[in-house]
Amino acid sequence: MSIATSHGLAILAMFFISTIFSLGDEIADTMPASVLMALRFGAAAILFTPYILWRHGIRWPGFSGLWRYGLLSLLSTIFFWSMFEGLKYTDSLNSGAISTTIPGFTALYTAILMRERLGRYRWVAILVGLVGALCVVFRGDPERLLALELSKGDAMFFGGCISMGLYAALIPKLHRGEPVPVMSFWIMVMVAAMFVIVANEEFVRVAWGTIDAGVWGALAWFAIGPTMLTFFMIQSTSLAIGSTRVQSYSYLIPAFVLVFDWASGRGLPTAMTVPGIVIVLLATLVIQRGVVVESSQTVAAKS
């Protein structure tokens, strides 16, 4: 996979992920978060099975694979549960903005676990992105920022982002050379199983007859786009260009969410949030500039 293709797939993956916030906000109250996620990941694993059988076959991963996939699945489960449970108490734009903290956590974990040198440009981008995210979450109001007026949903999802940062950093470290689709498949299966265990009797309590077609349509999209395809794209691009660079594109998520919210008739946020959106977009440009500069310096040093 070329570098340009990897960057393109990383952006597309974040585009898919951004749809979760707007659509998830619409369906979060229809059933418990654990049930929603069990259906989502269960469907994704089922849809992915024919491809795995055709290209790689399904083989028992052994205890080595089980603990590696199990750890990644646990971190992923925490993230997605906190996202959908948090959407019951906050809005899609806040959640999208909070997700931009993931690159910072990924960078810290990667620096520790992989000894990856991030360089000044990427550190600047991480800090700039965090400032933009805070500006959006607190609607550009310094008094709210100083008072740390986070909703229950904001705080919940922030904890999930800490978990996802570690997930992204661990992908290259826990990869043992197996095909990326195989790794993605087992993680999806384990995440689905974990959500089934968490949901337990919640399945019985859901009034299945009252669930409308729009909810099933959203779940179908979640299974295909933001789950099955995105898992594959994030893991393959993380191996190609590094976890920190991939996660840096999550700075685009608030802008994508803003467009989706506007397209669905929710209108635009207050003008005070616009600077935050602009700052977040600038963070992406800064980090990509840093990648180019660092690559040029590396080539110059070798020559």
Q: Domain spans of the chain?
A: 3-117+152-266
pLDDT for 166 equals 93
pLDDT score recorded for residue 289 = 58
pLDDT attached to residue 303: 39
Residue numbers of the chain with a pLDDT score lower than 70: 1, 116-122, 133-134, 136-150, 244, 266-270, 272, 284-303
* Confidence (pLDDT) at 145: 60
Looking at residue 292, its pLDDT comes to 43
Q: Rounded to an integer, what distance in angstroms lies between the CA atom of residue 47 and that of residue 156?
A: 30
pLDDT at 293 (0 to 100): 45
